[in-house]
Amino acid sequence: MKLLNFIKNNLFIQNFFSSLFCLSHPFFENVLAKYSAIKKSMFMIYHDETRGSYLEFGVFTGNSFNFAMKINMKMEKLFDKKMDIEFVGFDSFSGFGEIKKEDENPTFKSQFFKVDEKKVLRNIKKNSNGQRYRLIKGFYKDTIKEKTPKDLDIEKSSIILIDCDLKDSTLLALNFCKSTFQEGTIIIFDDFNYFQGNELKGEYGAFEDFKKNNPGILFRRIFDYGYSGRAFIVSKIK
Ligand SMILES: C[S@@+](CC[C@H](N)C(=O)[O-])C[C@H]1O[C@@H](n2cnc3c(N)ncnc32)[C@H](O)[C@@H]1O
């Protein structure tokens, strides 16, 4: 109470702290939260020994992909075991391609996601430290739509990071991953709550459609993170 009275009578304190917090860049906060989500998920799969590939849909500059490889090395040491994870990333490295009407959004613009691919690939190689990784380059309609994980030598998944923003891309990713799911697979959606809360749109809408079409796969929500992220674990496959 004393503290509250003090704050009430000294408004400069709230001015100071709110100005200080404004200095922290939202992008930076969000990236740290994404790192933390990947770290938590990695800890959980080591803890429960959920073996399988790390699949990432939406690699862009390789920020989260590189982090996943880095934190894997830490977990190997921490748990003193090798899970022999292969890291597989899917991206066109030139944006979304054609965007459907329902996926239009003022911030998700294709041209922004065009990257200097050679530079990104060099940096991923540097960060891999000899770990197994693959990048499947191209638009999902060409790389995964008509394919199965087996076609790409992928068996089970341990962690799936869905960071491809749009409903269309997310649905292609989830349908592709279906046969890799096992009890314990963790699915992280980085952009779960965008599209003004519209339940038919974005990653949320895609996940709802996927669940409706696959009632035999049960998911349990495990945590929320950052500005728009939510993670689930496959809790049962009937
Ligand atoms: C938000 S960025 C990924 C950010 C990245 N995970 C990071 O942490 O830096 C989204 C990426 O998804 C890719 N993407 C989305 N839909 C795609 C599609 N249908 N085919 C190929 N790439 C796609 C874009 O090219 C873009 O690089």
Please tell me the distance from the alpha carbon of residue 163 to that of residue 143, in angstroms, as a whole number. 16
Å from CA of 110 to ligand 1 middle = 9
Q: What is the DSSP string of 26-44?
A: HHHHHHHHHHHHHHHHHHH
- 1 located within any domain: no
* Pocket-testing residue among 96, 140, 146, 189, ligand 1, by greatest number of atoms within 8 A of Cβ: 96
Predicted confidence at residue 111, as pLDDT, reads 84
- CB atoms near residue 41 (< 10 Å): 26
* Model pLDDT for residues 44-83, shown as the tens digit of each residue: 999 999 999 999 999 999 999 999 999 999 999 999 999 9
Of 169, 190, 228, which is best to mutate to test ligand 1, by the most ligand atoms within 8 angstroms of its C-beta? 169
Q: What is the pTM of this model?
A: 0.96
pLDDT at position 89 is 98
In this structure, is residue 156 part of a structural domain?
yes
Domain hosting 121: range is 26-237
- Structure token digits, residue 4: 């509250």
Judge whether 79 lies within some domain.
Answer: yes
Residue 230 · residue 192 · CB < 8 Å: yes
Q: The tokens of 192 are what?
A: 């779960």
d(CA 33, CA 85): 22
Q: Which of 36, 66, 90, 91 to mutate to test the pocket of ligand 1 (most atoms within 8 A of CB)?
A: 91
Query: Whose C-alpha lies nearest to ligand 1, atom 15?
Result: 164
% of the chain at pLDDT higher than 90: 95
The answer to the question of residue 36 being in a domain is yes
Q: How many whole angstroms separate alpha carbon 151 and alpha carbon 236?
A: 25
pLDDT above 90 (res 110): no
End-to-end CA distance of the chain: 54
Give the mean pLDDT of 171-177: 98
Residue nearest to atom 22 of ligand 1 (CA): 91
Q: Which residues contact 121 (CB under 8 A, 6 or more apart)?
A: 135
Give residue-wise pLDDT tens across range 8-31.
999 999 999 999 999 999 999 999
Which among 100, 165, 225 is the best mutation to test ligand 1's pocket, defined by most ligand atoms within 8 Å of the CB? 165
Task: Say if 147 falls within a structural domain.
Answer: yes
Torsion, Cα of 206, 209, 211, 212 (10° steps): 180
pLDDT at 203 over 90: yes
pLDDT tens string 121-157: 999 999 999 999 999 999 999 999 999 999 999 999 9
Q: Are strands 157-162 and 186-189 parallel, antiparallel or unpaired?
A: parallel
pLDDT, tens only, 151-166: 999 999 999 999 999 9
CATH (domain of 88): 3.40.50.150
70 contact partners, CB below 8 Å, separation of at least 6? 127, 129
Work out how many domains the chain is built from and give that number: 1
Q: How far is 40 from 134, CA to CA, in rounded Å?
A: 23
- Nearest residue CA, atom 25 of ligand 1? 95
- Between CA 153 and CA 66 the distance in angstroms is 21
* 17 falls within a domain: no
Ligand 1: distance of its center to the CA of 196 in Å? Answer: 20
Decide if 117 contacts 93 (C-beta within 8 A). Answer: yes
Q: Which amino acid is at 66?
A: N
Residue 162 lies in a domain: yes
Q: CB within 6 Å of ligand 1 — which residues?
A: 58-61, 63-64, 91-92, 95-97, 113, 139-140, 163-166, 169
Residue nearest to atom 6 of ligand 1 (CA): 59
Does residue 48 lie in a domain region?
A: yes
Res 36: pLDDT: 98
Taking the centre of ligand 1 as the mean of its atom positions, its distance from the CA of residue 152, in whole angstroms, is 19
Quick one: DSSP state of residue 106? S
User: Which residue has the least CA distance to atom 27 on ligand 1?
Assistant: 60
